[in-house]
Each structure stands twice: as structure tokens, then as C-alpha cells.
Amino acid sequence: MSDEGYEKKYIKDAFKTNWIAPLGANVDGFEKELAAKVGSKHAAALSSGTAAIHMALKAAGVGHGDIVFCQDLTFSATANPIIYQNATPVFIDSNFETWNMDPWALEKAFKKYPNVKAVIVVHLYGLSADMDPIVKLCKKYNVTLIEDAAESLGTTYKDKYTGTFGDYGIFSFNGNKIITTSGGGMLVSDNEERIAKVRFWATQSRDQARHYQHSELGYNYRMSNVVAGIGRGQLKVLDQRVAKKK
């Protein structure tokens, strides 16, 4: 079956079961299948990669006045969610070898800013950052590491998939990515409790009640069941896409 055939099957199932909204078998399936593919324990399907970064920062407890280290050579969507959380971005230079965050510059920044809340490293254009020293530094300073792997789904660093080295990894399925759902994103983590909380926030933080009750600020960030169906079909040809890109 062609990738288009897989996509049509999952989309047809969404209409057949009348699950069009941000709930349904395709959303659940896409989360499980992508998590299994990259080797992460849990995933939350969201409306965009930007939403995934935002939720990762919120899950990490980033808030007003916190400092977040962010790669400087990247698209603005990497940095914008830091501002959403009223935190302060401090930009870390990239090196020539990877085009991504320079571990030497990161170490200097940690010495200058000892009270950092999180680090966002990017795997730009699908090329992995030098993760070993970056992970080591984040562990040394006990700082949450978020990987913006929006463009690097299928990329490996020392036989491990990008997006799974940090506390949180994010992927994008925008039209210019390795696979696309037309729009959408995914947050992955081994922390089951945090992923469950992200799903709650991303579904308008609606409490378990017979009436509309919201005890926390919520967001309309969940992926639709139709979009997730496209993603499930596209995921089946990911390895072919990676090979073609190489």
C-alpha cells in the first residue's frame, strides 16, 4: 500500500467512526506509534511543534522571570514560547561543526547565569547537536533539557534518536518537515505524569466534572483525529523519507 493509501485509510476511519475532533483512535495510535519509533515512553499529540515547546516549558515549571538558554541559530518558534511563559531567553551561540548549540559556549553561559531553569537545544535542518557534552552539562547543573527536534525526526546520534536525550523532545509535522500532517506536533518524554498533565492543559484544562469547570489555565492545543490519521500514514514511510534526504 502506498503512503497515500495508508493516509486515506486512517482518515476514512476517522469519518466512519465520527471522531473528527481532537480525540479518537488516530490520536492515540499516532502517539503510541511515534513514541515507539523513537524509543520514548510517552507522547502527546498537539496542534504544532511550537505548542509542544510551550507545553514542555510549562511542564518544566518555567515561569515569570526564569532564564532559559536557547540556541541562537534557529527559527523564532524555538524562542517564542519562552516569552509566552514570561521567562527570559538567553541565546547560546552555535558552532561550525554542527550548526547547533556550542557546548563550550553553553558551559560559559552556565558559569555566568547559575540559576537557569531550562535549556532548549535544536537539531537544525535535521542535523544533530553534539548531545553528549550538552546532556552532561545539564545534568551537572540540574537543569531541564528540551530538544527542539522539529526537523530531525528519524535522525540518530550514536544510534539513539534525537528528541530522546533530554527531559522533553518535540517534533513538528508542518508542511516543510520530513513527514507532514499539514500541521501538528508531538511532545515526547519518559515522564508519564508530565505528559498526562500536558494532555490536560492542551485540552483546555477541563476538570472532571459534569459542568464546565477549569481550575487551571488551559490551551486549545490537541491534534485532531483527522490530522493524526495523516501522521500515522506518513510515519510508515519515515525511513524512506530519511534515506531520500540523506
Question: How much is the pLDDT for 1?
Answer: 52
Q: Which grid coordinates belong to 64?
A: 515569570
**Per-residue model confidence as pLDDT tens digits over 6-49:** 777 777 777 777 666 678 899 999 999 999 999 999 999 999 99
Q: Which grid coordinates belong to 180?
A: 507532514
Three-state secondary structure readout of the chain:
CCHHHHHHHHHHHHHHCCCCCCCCHHHHHHHHHHHHHHCCCEEEEECCHHHHHHHHHHHCCCCCCCEEEEECCCCHHHHHHHHHCCCEEEEECECCCCCCECHHHHHHHHHHCCCEEEEEEECHHHCCCCHHHHHHHHHHCCCEEEEECCCCCCCEECCEECCCCCCEEEEECECCCCCCCECCEEEEECCHHHHHHHHHHHECCCCCCCCCCCCCCCCECECCHHHHHHHHHHHCCHHHHHHHHC
Q: Which residue matches cell numbers 472532571?
A: 208
Residue scoring higher pLDDT (184 or 1): 184
Question: How much is the pLDDT for 3?
Answer: 53
Q: d(Cα 199, Cα 205) in Å, to the nearest integer?
A: 8
| Percentage of the residues of the chain whose pLDDT score is greater than 90 | 86
Question: How much is the pLDDT for 4?
Answer: 61
**Which residue ranges form the domains of the chain, and what is each CATH number?**
3-245 (3.40.640.10)
What does pTM read for this prediction?
A: 0.94
**Per-residue model confidence as pLDDT tens digits over 105-159:** 999 999 999 899 999 999 999 999 999 999 999 999 999 999 999 999 999 999 9
Question: How much is the pLDDT for 12?
Answer: 77
Phi, psi of 23 (to 5 degrees): -155, 160
Question: How much is the pLDDT for 188?
Answer: 98
| Percentage of the residues of the chain whose pLDDT score is greater than 70 | 96
